[in-house]
Copies of this chain bind each other. A is one copy, B any other.
């Protein structure tokens, strides 16, 4: 094979297994080794909503250019699950590689494939692994074979295993020996016929490898989270579980040995949000994490927090709805619900991280915003970010001190009252920005107490049905969101190509869009790009809309929800805008985006 036919650091491997078979260790070990080689690598885990025995696909994408989006075609497939083999073969690229156990019954219907058979049973037998661990460790066979085929240094595998098992020698050895044996066997028995190779590079300098739920949890910890009420739900569970894991490490007060936080697993989502709102009202940096069905259950309570002006952060790690839908598939389908959640008029602040790094950043920033504006902040992540492993830029230390917003303790009270004619009222707009000053329970100042409520109230929290008083509060709150826009992460525009075509997207649609733009650029098609990071939209969004002759809005949902909200807010640009919405449970891929845009341009 000539050098120029080789494919180096730019291909895709899918591991097809059944869930519960323990392949995760093998797959992440490989991923870690590749990461260590400096190759940008990302994974997509397509798993069923059950615990054991159903088909699972784990895809590793190596991309020297740093692309992280899902790809439709696989270059290499490691087929461990006979039940789905026929399907996998369809997804193999022309000339692709199929690795399969030698006892797997397979009738090849394609003549372009390169097939390697692995003597899994024999190798594991020779390795004398305890019977209870056999199934688990047999996955290491394909690790060894791939190391040979792709050229991965076994040392790196050892390092990865060492990390995985936190230095415990026994499992490291057991697994590593299996890898070695498979490697040796491959070397002796396989002839490499395929073009896929890996090489060291410097694509992961300053990078880490992690998932969005871990990032969100750590971001929250650096945001000073003090209270979490949560209820398990896929794919949000690991966010709260990461809090449970990391908080004891980083948030025990060294002086007192006491926790500076509390986590409560509640009985359901109504209670989770109720607790979080109670704590937010009490002055704690408070959050909950959930997914679609949980968000729906939180509707009533979120309205209370909005109207009683209680800061609280709600992570919605989206999965495919409506209803229970596909709990283990990704979507951006909760956007319009989040925007219009709860009865009556309201304003919602929505943050949409567009990378793992931003999951961390919005983790802390959400608290600043919630406390500054005294209102719920919904962070819309999704399963693709939340549960998949990504190569990401390192987490960055918050570049701003914590903004606790307008809080009055005992002494502040005195000062405040001295300045304001001896008076304070919980919902008075003394600063003209729509944001009142709040006190917290436990404040011993005899004038600090107030009566929070979801019922109509005047500026001093008294119940009222007076139309004018109602309107005063209600309009002030609306105003708060106007002046509050300055605190939100701005949409990011890349207008470097000075294009007439502008693409708009958000969240986990980003990687596919980035890649699609490059694909288009190669064909001479210029695009500008605006990545929305928060709602309500601000001027930079309108600027972008105004500037471009043609606009495309990408959505990972059926109804084009981001486009719906943009249209509602900026209808005048809708005529030049096309909604590209797609939902099938899988992360967006660049090829699809490219194709859609190309066909759009053709039509024009």
Using CB atoms and an 8 Å cutoff, list the residues of chain A in contact with chain B.
Answer: 48-49, 291-293, 295-297, 299-300, 303-304, 306-308, 318, 320-329, 331, 333-334, 336-337, 339-346, 453-456, 465, 467-468, 470-471, 474-475, 478, 557-559, 561, 564-565, 567-568, 571-572, 574-575, 583-586
Contact, CB under 8 Å: A324 / B453:
yes
Q: Which residues of B contact A567 (CB under 8 A)?
A: 567-568, 571
CA A293 to CA B301, docked complex, whole Å:
9
Q: Which residues of B contact A575 (CB under 8 A)?
A: 571-572
Can you spell out 19 A-B residue pairs with CB atoms less than 8 angstroms apart? A293-B300, A295-B343, A297-B297, A299-B299, A318-B343, A321-B343, A326-B456, A331-B344, A334-B344, A337-B342, A345-B557, A345-B558, A465-B585, A467-B586, A468-B584, A471-B583, A471-B584, A474-B583, A478-B558
Which of the residues B295, B322, B326, B564 comes within 8 Å of A346, measured between beta carbons?
Answer: B322
Q: Which residues of B contact A557 (CB under 8 A)?
A: 344-345
Taking the closest CB of chain B, its distance from the CB of A99, in whole angstroms, is 24
Contact, CB under 8 Å: B345 / A559:
yes
Taking the closest CB of chain B, its distance from the CB of A564, in whole angstroms, is 5
Contact, CB under 8 Å: A329 / B465:
yes
Contact, CB under 8 Å: A337 / B331:
no
Which of the residues B292, B340, B571 comes within 8 Å of A571, measured between beta carbons?
Answer: B571
Which of the residues B292, B456, B467 comes within 8 Å of A343, measured between beta carbons?
Answer: B292
Contact, CB under 8 Å: B323 / A308:
yes
CA A390 to CA B554, docked complex, whole Å:
49
Taking the closest CB of chain B, its distance from the CB of A318, in whole angstroms, is 8
CA A475 to CA B468, docked complex, whole Å:
47
Chain B residue with the shortest CB-CB distance to A474 = B558
Which of the residues B322, B344, B346 comes within 8 Å of A345, measured between beta carbons?
Answer: B322
Chain B residue with the shortest CB-CB distance to A339 = B340
Taking the closest CB of chain B, its distance from the CB of A480, in whole angstroms, is 13
Contact, CB under 8 Å: A292 / B344:
yes
CA A331 to CA B474, docked complex, whole Å:
14
CA A455 to CA B583, docked complex, whole Å:
15
CA A235 to CA B394, docked complex, whole Å:
54
Taking the closest CB of chain B, its distance from the CB of A357, in whole angstroms, is 26
Chain B residue with the shortest CB-CB distance to A561 = B345
Contact, CB under 8 Å: B470 / A320:
yes
Contact, CB under 8 Å: A340 / B344:
no
Contact, CB under 8 Å: B334 / A584:
no
Which of the residues B323, B327, B559, B583 comes within 8 Å of A303, measured between beta carbons?
Answer: B323
Q: Which residues of B contact A334 (CB under 8 A)?
A: 343-344
Beyond A296-B343, A567-B568, 5 additional contacts (C-beta under 8 Å) are A293-B343, A303-B321, A331-B344, A333-B345, A567-B567
Contact, CB under 8 Å: A454 / B323:
yes
Q: Which residues of B contact A568 (CB under 8 A)?
A: 564-565, 567-568, 571
Contact, CB under 8 Å: B456 / A296:
no
Taking the closest CB of chain B, its distance from the CB of A558, in whole angstroms, is 4
Contact, CB under 8 Å: A307 / B329:
no
Chain B residue with the shortest CB-CB distance to A306 = B322
CA A475 to CA B325, docked complex, whole Å:
14
Taking the closest CB of chain B, its distance from the CB of A134, in whole angstroms, is 29
Q: Which residues of B contact A331 (CB under 8 A)?
A: 344
Q: Which residues of B contact A336 (CB under 8 A)?
A: 340
Chain B residue with the shortest CB-CB distance to A475 = B558
Question: Which of A307, A343, A345, A346 gathers most chain B CB within 10 Å?
Answer: A343
Q: Which residues of B contact A292 (CB under 8 A)?
A: 343-344
Contact, CB under 8 Å: B342 / A585:
no
Which of the residues B318, B328, B339, B456 comes within 8 Å of A325, measured between beta carbons?
Answer: B456
Which 8 residue pairs spanning A and B have beta carbons closest together? A321-B344, A323-B454, A292-B343, A571-B571, A467-B584, A571-B574, A322-B344, A296-B299
Taking the closest CB of chain B, its distance from the CB of A292, in whole angstroms, is 3
CA A293 to CA B296, docked complex, whole Å:
13
Contact, CB under 8 Å: A465 / B337:
no
Contact, CB under 8 Å: B328 / A307:
no
Q: Which residues of B contact A326 (CB under 8 A)?
A: 455-456, 465, 470
Taking the closest CB of chain B, its distance from the CB of A304, in whole angstroms, is 5
Contact, CB under 8 Å: A337 / B341:
yes
Chain B residue with the shortest CB-CB distance to A304 = B323
Taking the closest CB of chain B, its distance from the CB of A479, in whole angstroms, is 12
Q: Which residues of B contact A329 (CB under 8 A)?
A: 456, 465
